[in-house]
Amino acid sequence: MMPFQTHPHDPLPSLSAEQIARLQESIDTVGMGVWRDAVSPAFLDAARSFIGQQLDEHDHQYFSLHGERWLAASPLKAIAESTALRQTVDTLGKHVMAGRTIKMNMAASMRVLTGELGQRHSERYHYDSYVVTVLVPLIMPDVPGEPHGDLVLFPNLRGVPGSAMLNIVEKLCVENGLVRALWRQPRVQRWFGAKVMKMTPGNLYFFWGIRSLHANQACAVGRVRGTALFHFGDPHAGGVLKRLSGAHHRFKQQRLARRASVKIPTADL
Ligand SMILES: [Fe+2]
């Protein structure tokens, strides 16, 4: 996709209405829209330096960052504040909500997989809470014969849940340990039309996170896989059920960390 124009200080080039429409059509039909060569090599260099510093602080083990503090201190802040990205996701949000208006609030996170804990945080199939997910690959292992940590996506498996209760029930049905083991099976993935996608740093990847079950495959223990994730538009934000669901998510993250005897930060998603 070729850039249309660029706003001063915006790391991303703006897209025309036609380009956003093509992105939207691709997400609807194949489950994923790709904005190619969206971020510059200089931006990737800065993001990788940030990841290197964070790895030093996390004993070179898996970590994830959530909330606003990490973002303010990271080069990813420029993506979060991008006018071009905001225009794009606002249009996509109106489309996926089919006339229902929601606030396109944003939650940004960073996930860096490496070591044994990185393996444990792989193939954990889930739906996001937000309608639009933008995945920004920053470091992807690319060694022949080794797993790259590809994204596995079951495109548009469900609609946008009409209530927080329905969302939680559906998530419990597909995200529990027993069923997760099934989603990992290549045969099950073929039955449900799952797509295995290699992520290329520089591109941005868009999908309907609340509609598409997804997870990353593991990469080799000694490699590093770093991504930033920008989620937009939680249709059930602010409710009691949502807070309970957030607490449950934090509990599961802490349990994973305890099993590996590694302390990891967690926060609301
Ligand atoms: Fe996700």
Answer whether residue 141 is part of any domain.
yes
Are the C-beta atoms of residues 64 and 111 closer than 8 Å to each other?
A: yes
Give the pLDDT mean for 38-47: 96
**Of 5 and 15, the one with more pLDDT:** 15
Cα–Cα distance for residue pair 216/139, rounded to 1 Å:
14
- pTM reported for the whole predicted model: 0.88
Q: How far is the CA of 103 from the centre of ligand 1 (A)?
A: 19
Are the C-beta atoms of residues 132 and 93 closer than 8 Å to each other?
A: yes
Domain that holds residue 229: 10-245
Answer whether residue 250 is part of any domain.
no
Give, rounded to a whole angstrom, the gap between the first and last alpha carbons of the chain.
30
Q: How far is the CA of 134 from the centre of ligand 1 (A)?
A: 10
Answer whether residue 197 is part of any domain.
yes
Q: What is the pLDDT of residues 52-66, one digit of tens each?
A: 999 999 999 999 999
Cα–Cα distance for residue pair 131/231, rounded to 1 Å:
7
Q: How far is the CA of 126 from the centre of ligand 1 (A)?
A: 6
The beta strands (E) that lie in the chain are given as 5-6, 13-14, 33-35, 63-65, 106-113, 132-139, 151-154, 195-197, 204-208, 213-216, 225-232
Q: How many domains in the chain?
A: 1
Q: Please list the residues that pair with 148 across neighbouring strands.
A: 219
Question: What per-residue confidence (pLDDT) applies to 201?
Answer: 97
Q: How far is the CA of 89 from the centre of ligand 1 (A)?
A: 16
State the residue for tokens 């809470």. Answer: 129
Ligand 1 is an ion; residues with CB less than 5 A from it:
128
State the residue for tokens 């909500």. Answer: 97
Q: What is the pLDDT of residues 216-226, one digit of tens each?
A: 999 999 999 99
Q: What's the mean pLDDT when you consider all of the chain?
A: 89
Task: Kindly tell me if the per-residue pLDDT of 44 is higher than 90.
Answer: yes
Answer whether residue 192 is part of any domain.
yes
CATH number of 96's domain? 2.60.120.620
State the residue for tokens 């992105």. Answer: 23
Answer whether residue 134 is part of any domain.
yes
Q: Please list the residues that pair with 13 across neighbouring strands.
A: 6
Q: How far is the CA of 141 from the centre of ligand 1 (A)?
A: 20
Q: How far is the CA of 83 from the centre of ligand 1 (A)?
A: 23
Q: What is the pLDDT of residues 216-258, one digit of tens each?
A: 999 999 999 999 999 999 999 877 666 776 676 777 766 666 6
Q: How far is the CA of 44 from the centre of ligand 1 (A)?
A: 22
Q: How far is the CA of 242 from the centre of ligand 1 (A)?
A: 16
Answer whether residue 102 is part of any domain.
yes
Q: What is the pLDDT of residues 67-112, one digit of tens each?
A: 999 999 999 999 999 999 999 999 999 999 998 889 999 999 999 9
Cα–Cα distance for residue pair 153/195, rounded to 1 Å:
5
Answer whether residue 259 is part of any domain.
no
Q: How far is the CA of 135 from the centre of ligand 1 (A)?
A: 9
State the residue for tokens 């449900």. Answer: 192
Give the pLDDT mean for 189-213: 97
- Coil, strand or helix at 101: coil
Q: How far is the CA of 127 from the centre of ligand 1 (A)?
A: 6
Question: What per-residue confidence (pLDDT) applies to 263?
Answer: 42
Q: What is the pLDDT of residues 124-173, one digit of tens each?
A: 999 999 999 999 999 999 999 999 999 999 999 999 998 888 998 998 89
Q: How far is the CA of 235 from the centre of ligand 1 (A)?
A: 16
Answer whether residue 263 is part of any domain.
no
Are the C-beta atoms of residues 202 and 136 closer than 8 Å to each other?
A: no
